[in-house]
């Protein structure tokens, strides 16, 4: 009995296997993407259907439907044989067990519910037919909208150097969005740049300073689209009127093409508005280029002017720039004072080494007949007592009471003179004997001067008291070069070694605190401090080898790029600070 029962079970099992082989199941849908009930679906999101087995492709073609139909893809059946360039096309899995509809050129309409259908009749390769009617629904994402702008509509007094900002409700596609944003009147060289940390924010960087006291319109067209191709719900128009230069300080960068003299003067902010976007850098001056085979000593496409030096007034109202005519061999440098808010330029003739006082009321500069102090209001131009000519730009104390003059004797010896701008007197640095002296750095209150000396037995940075009884000069260190005071008793200096470093030095004790090392390629010999003495800038090689300008806090924190020149286009030649 036991053996008979076992035999019967075996026969039943064999019969089951035979029936399965003869009657295969119809194809079933294993997975859908997007899934049924999905919301906020991207406009170009592909539609994917996966089956549990290979299917007869022809049985699917006429049975796949989308309601309402997609503009540009009204007949989904045609998508199954469409070329790769079509606005919508179907790509089958290699095993024929699923397909994907790509419809980047036929996006979903915003905030629209769609019903996708596979009608009865889909068959497997052996002819088994699925007789069910499959439906699933999805709802597309809403159209993007502008959620904010800077400036706001109707704003007045907008800074002529400020970047403009547009914020959107979602991440935007860079190309279409940039192409849909326009500034009217147009400004040549304007760029639209996305924030890499917030793809719903774009920054408009005008190619030059905007004109002061001028009406502008910022247009954001409906062609702007989010990352899935959904266009802006409605265009936006922002009207604003400009004022003057923004507050908070600026960097001034002289830039050049590789192997050329500096041919552009750029005004930059002291860092980006937000992380993830470039620092605003606006071209103030751009030298014309030779458009003939030659222009005197200049060849075709070479600059006809070189910008040798530039200084921005602390109040941001004027720019002093030294230019040289390159078409004439040996032409002298000429100093111009350019008002940034309108008005005629002032030509000071053959002069160089400009430096504005902290109050922006006086411009010190060197001319063939000596060192001049040009006052803006009331206007006057006085010449300091005779002495050796300037070798570099003068350096003002923070309160404007002392002017340090880097000069050079006819014998080629560099040294420092001092001047009292109020009294118009000039005198040597007390306690410093004749010999090489460079890199003057007056203290904020003008009571102390740090300088670099080179020579037998005197090499190093020295600190000289200019008041309080004239104490003897003290040497801080033979490996230091002054940069600037960052506080009344703290000096920022370059520490020379195999790997140069910036250090903060206590003037009283000589103790040093080394700043965080900058990125590789930094040229710390170019370091300069902002007038507030809280930040320092320098030149350095970028990741692509081009020279950029960088800034960081005086303690070495928060490094940032001031420029982002494309490789082979421009590179920074110098950096300084102003209003």
pLDDT in tens, 319-335: 999 999 999 999 999 99
| CATH 2.60.40.3710, the chain: domain bounds | 146-242
CA of 478: how far to CAs of 186, 429, 452, 492, in Å? 55, 19, 9, 15
- The set of residues, in sequence order, having a beta carbon less than 8 Å from that of 564 and lying 6+ positions away, is 278, 279, 281, 548
Instruction: Check residue 295 and give its pLDDT.
Output: 96
Query: What average pLDDT does this structure show over 138-167?
Result: 96
The architecture of the domain spanning 26-140 is: Sandwich (2.60)
Topology of the domain covering 250-578: Neuraminidase (2.120.10)
Residue 18 confidence (pLDDT):
38
C-alpha–C-alpha distance, residues 508 and 554, integer Å: 19
User: Hey, which residues does 406 pair with through a beta bridge?
Assistant: 416
Residues of the chain with CATH 2.60.40.1220: 26-140
Give the pLDDT confidence score for residue 579 in this predicted structure: 67
Structure tokens at 408: 């050079």
Confidence of residue 555 (pLDDT cuts 50, 70, 90): confident
299 has pLDDT over 80? yes
State residue 22's pLDDT score.
Answer: 44
Give the mean model confidence (pLDDT) for residues 79-86: 95
Query: Mean per-residue pLDDT for 368-375?
Result: 97
Q: Confirm if 349 and 367 have CB atoms less than 8 A apart.
A: yes
Looking at per-residue confidence, does 10 or 102 come out higher?
102
How far is residue 129's CA from residue 77's CA, in Å, rounded to a whole number? 19
Which residues belong to CATH 2.120.10.30 in the chain?
250-578
Matching residue, tokens 């019967």: 8
> Pick the residue with more confidence: 193 or 378?
193
Length of the chain: 579
How much is the pLDDT for 546? 87
Mean pLDDT of the chain: 91
| Cα–Cα nearest to 25, from 61, 53, 62, 49 | 53
Residue 568 clears pLDDT 90, i.e. is over it = no
Of residues 10 and 524, the one with the higher pLDDT is: 524
Q: What is the DSSP letter of 115?
A: E
In the predicted structure, residue 8 carries a pLDDT above the cut 50: no
Which pLDDT belongs to residue 2? 33
Using 50, 70 and 90 to split pLDDT, how confident is the model at 350? very high
Read off the pLDDT of residues 25-45 as tens digits, 9 standing for 90 and up: 999 999 999 999 999 999 999
User: How does residue 413 score in pLDDT terms, banded at 50, 70 and 90?
Assistant: very high
Whole-number Å distance between alpha carbons of 317 and 361: 11
Q: Is the pLDDT of residue 494 over 90?
A: yes
The reply to whether the predicted model has a pTM over 0.85 is: no
Asked if residue 475 has pLDDT above 60, the reply is yes
Name which CATH class applies to 146-242: mainly beta
Supply the pLDDT for residue 470.
61
Reply yes or no on whether the pLDDT at 528 is more than 70. yes
Average pLDDT (226-238) is 96
Strand 47-51 and strand 29-33: the pairing is: antiparallel
Residues 6 or more apart whose Cβ sits within 8 Å of residue 67: 114, 115, 116, 117
Percent of residues, the chain, with pLDDT higher than 70: 95
434-448: b (≥16 Cβ within 10 Å) or e: eebbbbbbbbbebbb
Q: Residue 318 above 90 pLDDT?
A: yes
- Residue 66 above 80 pLDDT? yes
Residue 17, pLDDT > 60, answer no
DSSP β-bridge partners for residue 98: 50
So what's the pLDDT on residue 544? 78
Which of 294, 292, 288, 285 minimizes the C-alpha distance to 319? 285
**Measuring CA to CA, how many Å separate 467 from each of 422, 446, 447, 472?**
16, 9, 6, 11
Q: Could you say which DSSP state residue 523 is in? A: E
């Amino acid at each position: 009995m036991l053996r008979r029962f076992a035999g019967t079970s075996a026969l039943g099992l064999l019969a089951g296997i035979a029936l399965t082989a003869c009657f295969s199941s119809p194809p079933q849908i294993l997975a859908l993407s997007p899934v049924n009930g999905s919301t906020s679906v991207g406009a170009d999101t592909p539609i994917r259907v996966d089956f549990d087995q290979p299917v007869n492709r022809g049985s699917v073609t006429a049975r796949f439907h989308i309601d309402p139909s997609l503009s540009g893809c009204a007949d989904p059946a045609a998508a199954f044989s469409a070329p790769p360039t079509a606005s919508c096309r179907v790509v089958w899995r290699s095993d024929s067990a699923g397909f994907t509809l790509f419809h980047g050129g036929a996006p979903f309409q915003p905030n629209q519910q769609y019903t996708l259908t596979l009608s009865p009749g889909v068959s497997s390769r052996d002819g088994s037919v699925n007789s069910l009617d499959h439906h699933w629904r999805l709802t597309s994402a809403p159209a993007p909208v502008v959620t904010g702008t800077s400036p706001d509509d109707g704003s007045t007094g907008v800074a002529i150097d400020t970047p403009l900002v547009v914020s959107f409700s979602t991440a935007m596609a860079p190309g279409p969005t940039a192409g849909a944003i326009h500034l009217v009147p147009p400004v040549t060289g304007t760029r639209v740049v996305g924030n890499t940390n917030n793809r719903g924010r774009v920054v408009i960087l005008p190619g030059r300073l905007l004109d002061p006291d001028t009406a502008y319109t910022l247009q954001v067209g409906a062609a702007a689209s989010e990352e899935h191709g959904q266009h802006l719900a409605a265009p936006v128009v922002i009207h604003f009127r400009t004022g003057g230069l923004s507050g908070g300080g600026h960097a001034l960068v002289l830039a050049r093409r590789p192997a050329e003299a500096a041919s552009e003067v750029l005004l930059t902010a002291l860092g980006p508005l937000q992380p993830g976007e470039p620092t605003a850098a606006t071209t103030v001056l751009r030298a014309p280029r030779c458009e003939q085979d030659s222009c005197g000593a200049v060849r075709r496409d070479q600059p006809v002017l070189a910008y040798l030096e530039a200084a921005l007034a602390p109040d941001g109202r004027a720019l002093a720039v030294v230019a040289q005519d390159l078409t004439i061999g040996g032409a002298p440098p000429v100093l111009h004072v350019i008002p940034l808010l309108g008005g005629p330029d002032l030509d000071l003739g053959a002069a160089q080494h400009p430096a504005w006082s902290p109050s922006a009321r006086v411009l010190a500069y060197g001319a063939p007949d000596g060192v001049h102090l040009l006052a803006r209001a009331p206007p006057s131009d006085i010449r300091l007592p005779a002495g050796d000519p300037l070798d570099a730009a003068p350096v003002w104390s923070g309160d404007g009471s002392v002017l340090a003059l880097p000069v050079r004797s006819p014998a080629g010896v560099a040294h420092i003179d001092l001047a009292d701008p109020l009294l118009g007197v000039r005198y040597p640095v007390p306690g410093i004997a004749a010999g090489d002296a460079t890199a003057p750095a007056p203290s904020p209150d003008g009571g102390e001067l740090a300088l670099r000396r080179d020579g037998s037995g005197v090499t190093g940075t020295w600190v000289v008291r200019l008041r309080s009884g004239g104490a003897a000069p003290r040497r801080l260190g033979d490996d230091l070069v002054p940069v600037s005071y960052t506080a009344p008793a703290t000096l920022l200096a370059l520490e020379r070694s195999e790997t140069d470093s910036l250090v903060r030095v206590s003037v009283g004790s000589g103790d040093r605190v080394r700043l965080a090392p900058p990125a590789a390629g930094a040229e710390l010999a170019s370091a300069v401090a902002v007038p507030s003495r809280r930040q320092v800038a320098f030149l350095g090689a970028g990741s692509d080898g081009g020279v950029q300008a960088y800034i960081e806090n005086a303690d070495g924190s928060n490094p940032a790029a001031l420029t982002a020149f494309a490789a082979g286009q421009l590179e920074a030649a110098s950096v300084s600070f102003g209003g």
